[in-house]
Each structure stands twice: as structure tokens, then as C-alpha cells.
Amino acid sequence: MDDELKIIKDGVTYTLPTGWALSDSGTYSFNNKLQDRAFSHGSDMVGDGKASGRTVTVEIDLDSETEAEHDALVNDAYKYFNQVNYTLIAGRADRLYKIAGISKIKHQFEKGFKQRWSNVVVSLLLADPFRYATVETTISNIYAEAQIASEITFNNPSSVDVPLIFKFTPNVAMAALTMLHVESGQSFTMQDTLLSRPAASTVNADTGTVRRDAANSINTFSGIFLHALPGNNTFKFTGAAGRVDIIYTARWFV
């Protein structure tokens, strides 16, 4: 259902049993500022433009027939909210927030109900400020022969850039390869004489890692960890025959 609030951690799902609302989606702050020019009027913007973490606020109503049942509901909700590094689904079943932890709980009893009805406001910290798709997207290309600047195109539905995971699986061997992102002009190359079947190499822009199967192979990598921009993206792959997977999780401001 698209009207439920769920907390998911380590395969355990808690569904809030009563009414709720996202009352505050927080403020986006970006790592930009103006710096005065030395020899002319005006300023220049400096910074990397990255979004900082933010806080979202959830309001919930918890009520029951008896005080004991009410207390059990409240304590159960607090137990799940007061975790670290969990997933929050609020409304849309195909979107999620990555909650780092809790910062504040404001608790008030509804007048006239003798501690059997509580209005609770929970402030949650998003170290990662965006709202994510619940499933990742994979673009797969299989090449029967070596490629030179072979194009891979796809549309990223996100409202912000997304870090990409590239997985290279050679038919026989893939000792040298290049991946270029046309829109940004950024690229990376890999020189790995050990990348031969059945091994696969994974370049992960989210974690900044390069691995051949489970082994660290960052020394084979040079260039930029690539992201996909919102909208259409074109990549050019140069390398030996094999399979190339591009994996990402779409994300939005709301």
C-alpha cells in the first residue's frame, strides 16, 4: 500500500499501526559560497555543490483502549525509530529514505484521554539527503568481439546525479579497457592482466572501490569514478569481448 509508513532493518519490517504524516522534509544545504574577487567587483562561487545531510520530521498518532496497550504501542514505535542505519518507506512503496539515526522525539498526550492517546513528533537524520528507488537499475551489454568506443545509452530518471557501478566480465580476458562518459567528458581506464575468465572486475563510484572478485585491485584503475547525470547519458566502451553491466539506484530530492 502507498499510505503506509515502514521501517526496515536487517530483514525486519515494522509497519506503523496508526496515522502518520511527514510534517517537515527538512532543508537542503549545498556546499557552495561566494568568494570576493581580488581585483574586480563581485564574487565567484566556490565549492563542490554537494548536498549536506538533512533532517525529516514524522508526526504520528498512537492511541488505544487502555493505558497499558497505549504504552506498549508507543514503546514499540520508539524501539524501531531509535535504531541506526535503517530504511524508511513513507507513502510511496517504490521510494525510500536512508535513515542514519534519530535526533529528537517530542511527545504530548492528547487532552481528555487519560494517557491513552499520544501525539509524537520524531526527527530523523538523513546523512544521505536523497530519496531512493527501492530497486536498482541494471543496463547490460554483451559483446561477442572487442569494441572500440561502442556506445551505451540510457535515461537516468533521477533529479540528481547518481554514482555508477560498472561490472566487467570477460569472455576470455579483458586486460585493458576504457569507459568514457560523453556528457561530462570524464573517463577511467583499467590495466589488469589478471582479469580473465571466470573473474570479474567491479568499479564502484559509490564506495570508491575497485575489486577483481573479492580482491582489491584499485592499483589497476586510473581516472574518475563516473556518475550518471539526470536525463540521457552516453558512455563509450573500449575493451575486449565480454559483458559490461552498469548498475545504479535512482534518487530524487523528494
What does pTM read for this prediction?
A: 0.89
Total Cβ atoms within 10 A of residue 235: 24
% of the chain at pLDDT higher than 70? 99
Which regions of the chain carry the CATH code 2.60.120.860? 136-252
Which regions of the chain carry the CATH code 2.40.30.200? 4-132
**CATH 2.60.120.860, applies to 136-252:** yes
- What is the architecture, at CATH level 2, of domain 4-132? Beta Barrel (2.40)
The DSSP bridge pattern shows strands 215-216 and 4-9 to be unpaired
- pLDDT for residue 1 is more than 60: no
Q: Which residues contact 230 (CB under 8 A, 6 or more apart)?
A: 156, 157, 158, 159, 160, 161
**Mean pLDDT value of segment 209-233:** 98
The confidence band for 25, taking pLDDT boundaries of 50, 70 and 90, is confident
Task: Write the burial class of residue 114 (CB in 10 Å: 0-12 exposed, 13-18 middle, 19+ buried).
Answer: exposed
